[in-house]
Chains A and B, each alone.
Chain A
Amino acid sequence: MNRPAAARHAMDRRQVAWAAAAMVFGGAPHLFMVTPWVPLLVLAIALWRILAAARGWRLPSLWIRVPVTVLAFLGVALTYRGVAGVDAGSALLLVMAGMKLLETRTERDRIVVVLIGYFLLFAVLLREQAIWSFAWLVVGTIGITAALAQTVRHERLLPVPAAAVLAARLLLQALPLAALLFVLFPRIPGPFWAMPETRSAGISGLDDQIEPGDIAELSLSDAVAFRVRFEGAVPPAEALYWRGPVLERFDGRRWLALPDATRESAPDRTRVPGPIYGYQLVLEPQGQRWLLALETPLAWSVPHAALGRSLQLQSAEPFAERLSYRARSASGGVTRVEPPPEVLAYNLRLPAGRNPRTLELAAKLRSDSTAARTYLARVLQFLGSGTFSYSLTPPPLGVHSVDDLLFGSRQGFCEHYASAFAVLARAGGIPARVVVGYQGGERNPFGDYWIVRQANAHAWVEAWFDGAWRRIDPTSVVAPGRIASGIEATLAATPVAAERLWRANAFINRMVLSWDAVNAVWDRWVLAFGPEMQADLLLALGFEVPRVTQLTGLAIAGTIGCMLVMGLLLRQAPRRRRDVVALAYASLCGKLAGIVRARLPAETASHYAAAIASARPDLAGEVDALTALYLELRYGAPADPARAHELATRVRRFRPRAAPARR
């Protein structure tokens, strides 16, 4: 029974190719994720291995494999300056998979390569959780599972489509249990041993310091900062101030955030006048600690987050994953929370010797007005006098940045005016600070939520007077349209990013928005699924106080139930093809057995009919006819289904009476 060596060799070759395919399914997306030489090296190894199997080349000896492996590992370590983290880990996994493929001889080796394929796929998901990752999860799992099915075969391989269908079918059958576990497996928040690395590099977003021009640069980016869905009332566009970092230190040119480790409790409702809005926010990863919230946050659902001294919501650790949370905020722009005196004093500090003309102007304006309120109104009046213009590309400013803006270029973006206003306020003896965040947003009609992009980045001022921090947005006097109708309308005439021109087309914008709506649903229901939604689910199921133990019980019970159902559905049922003819004849015999006698085991149908006819001549006609029909269907030429149906019907209607004599 030994198969010819040639056939075995051919099968072996194809199995090696399948193992390599599993690696490609798991590793292909890494081409765009890790340093390019690693996937290219592995791809080259995979191709070489397939060729080697085809041509019968000898696999490299240990003397070649070990140095190559060591070199590749060193290469990864040098490229990533270490081997910790998802990226370096993925690269190492790729190298390991390639090296394993290089020594793949036995079935066991091939299985290891296929399992590494699954792991590579997992690493892809750790990197990227967009919809396309999910699509690749589906494709990749089918591919790798098909490879596993082929790898463990001994007799003959399945044709490629059959292998794919087998894998897809198995996964489809596994889907209910997988979905059940996904929903019910208790999710315990928080990392256990390693923080996800922050991937701030290349991510554009707010920073905890601004120089003139930073936000203008950011506003060219169409990248999404976060999406927000209001629960109930929606604030008007001019109240959509999303607070980010609060900058209190001014060095003459830059504004910087102070290190702030304090954890304040949420301000009392009575101290923050204005309407309150509830919303759910999905924040894109930005590698920073602060969480964006509307104006003054009162409640939030992020466990490790707290308010800082400047009422900025921040989490304990920087986060690198997309974060979803619910919050409630007051958006009146007034917060009556008195800071400690030293904070107020700090918010008055100006660097010595900088911006002398601005200080001069402040002194002049201040001497004319007694109340802080009137002074600030006059400053706003000065800025809104029409001599200042709003520009994405203002000329660069020098050491005396505010002087240069106010008395020189007279062109600036929001951070220029915020900086100038804060300096003027401080110079006038009013504590003031710059707040960076986002203003406005684009409502997506397809999903009834708001998209806030980097282009919405904004800077404004909070000043302390009359016993409250009050929001003042100097941009609103320089370019009133910026706040009322959004950044796009204001900058329509300025040269902006090609991306935005592209979106100016209404049809394309609709497409972009509907795709964004799909993504938002994805983020909201799939990626944001966690302990909170599980608790909601338990509440919906009628548990009063959601607990992990209940969830565990549900998960176990559900798994057992699911496995029982699977056992029923997937059992090998000896499904006899329904034989209408045999069933009908058996039924006829059953009827006759009741009133005449049973058919003997070895009795032919004709003999039985004859015996019945002699015992009960009155039944002879029908029994003979039915028997003849049965014999024709059973032993004659291929019968047509109509005749079989006729037999079944006639047998059903045949109701012989017991013999009168017996009655």
Chain B
Amino acid sequence: MRNYRQCLQAWLARRVRGWARRRQGRDGRSVTLDSRRIYIAPTSAGLVFALMVTTMLAGAMNYNNNLGFALTFLLAALGVTTIYHTHRMLAGLRLQLLGAEPVFAGEPLDVRLTLGNDGATAREELHLGWDDATGTPVSVEAHHSRIVHLPLATAQRGHHALPGLRVSASTPLGLVRAWAWIHVDAQLLVWPRPAMEQIEPPYSGASTTPDGRQSAGDDDFGGLRDYRPGDPPRRIAWKRYARSGELLVREFRGGTQATAWLDWDLLPPAGVEQRIAWLTRQVLDAAAAGRSWGLRLPGLEIAPGSGSAQVHRCLERLALAMPTGPAAP
């Protein structure tokens, strides 16, 4: 019985949301809620309140009691007044999607939004949630704005489409609830989940010093290349910089700075997701060890490099490589 009711409610909610979405169209990253997209309905408490007022009206009429009428009409008018107040919690609210830093699949994305209140009254206890979740309450003072962090669960690597966002409020008396749906076309990056077990990549260099310090007598200087964010400062050609103002980085071939090639084809035979998980793990391990590495995927090669920029580059490629179908594990 309960299940049946819940199913019915969920189905109804989906239908209404779909209708609203078709009606409103897609939103940009910044939205100001206007009356046309704010929906309002009594809460269950509001329905009980209405029933109570009706009963009081019947009682006042039966006993012909003027103070009874006074209380009845005062409460009825109070109910009507809260409609405006609740609506006002949302009307004119500015929402701006700031985005989210990528996370590994399975971890929640930390989606950041700005809530802007240009109005003269505070907006109290707005509930923000994905799809039809209620979410936690936040308040925005008059003429203020605040940043809200909304966790969004992830399961798969790749682009995560932002679900519909629901903003709702039932303040001040909880008798009616106003809500609005916001559908932003935004793709948030989710990195692959790294494998638990390690598979050592074959290193092209002979020996390694884990900290990558240049040893004496090193003659494997490979030349200079443009600085890329994330390059270790000690490898910047400072003399050259002092002379010309160009920021260059010394590159080494072989030698003590071992460069690893993380290669799809060199992995043990396994499924796509397993290989991507291994490669992810290798990228993270290499970065943790301070090494330099390159990545080879079918039809794609990332030149060797190191540092967090290289990590981001590789993880993004891994996230988007060989897009998984909906049925992928």
Contacts and interface: CB of A to CB of B under 8 A. Distances in A.
Interface stretch (A471-479, A565-573, A599-607): A565-573
Contacts of B173: 145, 148-149, 152, 170
A141 interface: yes
A577 to B, nearest CB: 7
B45 interface: yes
Given A155-B137, A171-B74, A574-B119, A188 B66 contact: no
A530 interface: yes
Interface string A83-121: 000100000000000000000000010011001001101
B233 to A, nearest CB: 37
A177 B71 CA distance: 12
A125 B61 contact: no
Interface string A168-205: 00110111111101100101111111101000000000
Contact of A125 (B64, B65, B84, B137): B65
A174 B63 contact: no
A192 B87 CA distance: 38
B67 A137 contact: yes
A118 B65 contact: no
A129 B137 contact: no
A166 interface: yes
B82 interface: yes
Interface string A60-101: 000000000000000000000000001000000000000000
Contacts of B65: 125-126, 129, 321
B213 to A, nearest CB: 44
Interface stretch (B2-10, B48-56, B253-261): B48-56
A59 interface: no
A133 B64 contact: no
B25 to A, nearest CB: 23
Nearest to B120: A575
Contacts of B69: 182, 185, 187
Interface string B84-103: 11011101100000000000
Contact of B84 (A152, A154, A566): A566
Given A148-B173, A149-B173, A570-B84, A154 B125 contact: yes
B244 interface: no
B170 interface: yes
A323 B209 CA distance: 104
Contacts of B151: 1
B114 interface: no
Given A115-B52, A152-B170, A577 B73 contact: no
Interface string B124-165: 110100000000111100010000010100000000000000
Given A122-B59, A154-B125, A192-B62, A570 B85 contact: yes
Interface string B172-183: 111000000000
A629 interface: no
B56 A193 contact: no
Contacts of A112: 48
Contacts of A133: 67
B322 interface: no
Task: Pick from B62, B68, B77 the residue with the most CB of A within 10 Å.
Answer: B77
Given A152-B170, A182-B70, A571-B91, A576 B56 contact: no
A133 B65 CA distance: 12
Interface string A547-564: 000000000000000010
A133 B69 CA distance: 13
Nearest to B76: A181
Contact of A573 (B120, B170, B174): B120
A185 B194 CA distance: 71
Interface string B27-68: 000000000000000001100110010001011011111111
Contacts of A185: 69, 73
B80 to A, nearest CB: 6
B39 to A, nearest CB: 16
Contacts of B171: 149, 152-153
A129 B80 contact: no
Contacts of A176: 77
Given A111-B48, A174-B81, A178-B77, A577 B59 contact: no
Contacts of A194: 62
Task: Pick from B62, B70, B75 the residue with the most CB of A within 10 Å.
Answer: B70
B251 interface: no
A152 B52 CA distance: 18
Contact of B77 (A125, A149, A181): A181
A174 B70 CA distance: 12
Interface string A120-158: 011001100100011001000100010011011111000
B271 to A, nearest CB: 37
Contacts of A152: 45, 170-171, 173-174
A451 B74 CA distance: 32
B107 interface: no
B13 interface: no
Contacts of B303: none
A155 B80 contact: no
Given A151-B174, A152-B174, A134 B67 contact: yes
A346 interface: no
Nearest to B52: A115
B224 interface: no
B273 interface: no
Nearest to A129: B67
A572 B48 contact: no
A147 to B, nearest CB: 10
B198 interface: no
A529 interface: yes
A527 interface: yes
Interface in A460-474: none
A155 B138 contact: yes
A194 B61 CA distance: 11
Nearest to A166: B172
B59 A126 contact: yes
B68 A125 contact: yes
Contact of B81 (A129, A173, A188): A173
A190 B64 contact: yes
A177 B80 contact: yes
Given A111-B174, A152-B170, A174-B81, A529 B66 contact: yes
Contacts of A134: 67, 70
B43 to A, nearest CB: 9
Contact of A149 (B58, B81, B138, B172): B172
Contacts of B61: 187-188, 192
B118 interface: yes
Contact of A193 (B62, B72, B88): B62
A51 interface: no
A193 B48 CA distance: 23
A116 to B, nearest CB: 9
B78 A527 contact: no
A187 B67 contact: no
B24 interface: no
B121 interface: yes
A119 B54 CA distance: 12
B91 A174 contact: no
B118 A177 contact: no
A118 B75 contact: yes
Contact of B56 (A122, A166, A189): A122
A101 to B, nearest CB: 17
Given A137-B71, A571-B84, 20 more contacts: A1-B151, A118-B71, A121-B71, A133-B67, A137-B67, A145-B173, A152-B170, A154-B136, A170-B78, A170-B81, A170-B172, A171-B78, A177-B80, A192-B62, A567-B84, A570-B85, A572-B89, A574-B119, A575-B119, A577-B143
29 contacts: A115-B52, A118-B56, A119-B56, A126-B63, A126-B65, A133-B67, A134-B67, A141-B74, A148-B173, A149-B171, A152-B174, A153-B171, A155-B137, A170-B172, A173-B81, A178-B70, A181-B73, A182-B66, A187-B69, A190-B64, A194-B62, A321-B65, A526-B67, A530-B64, A530-B66, A563-B80, A566-B81, A572-B92, A574-B118
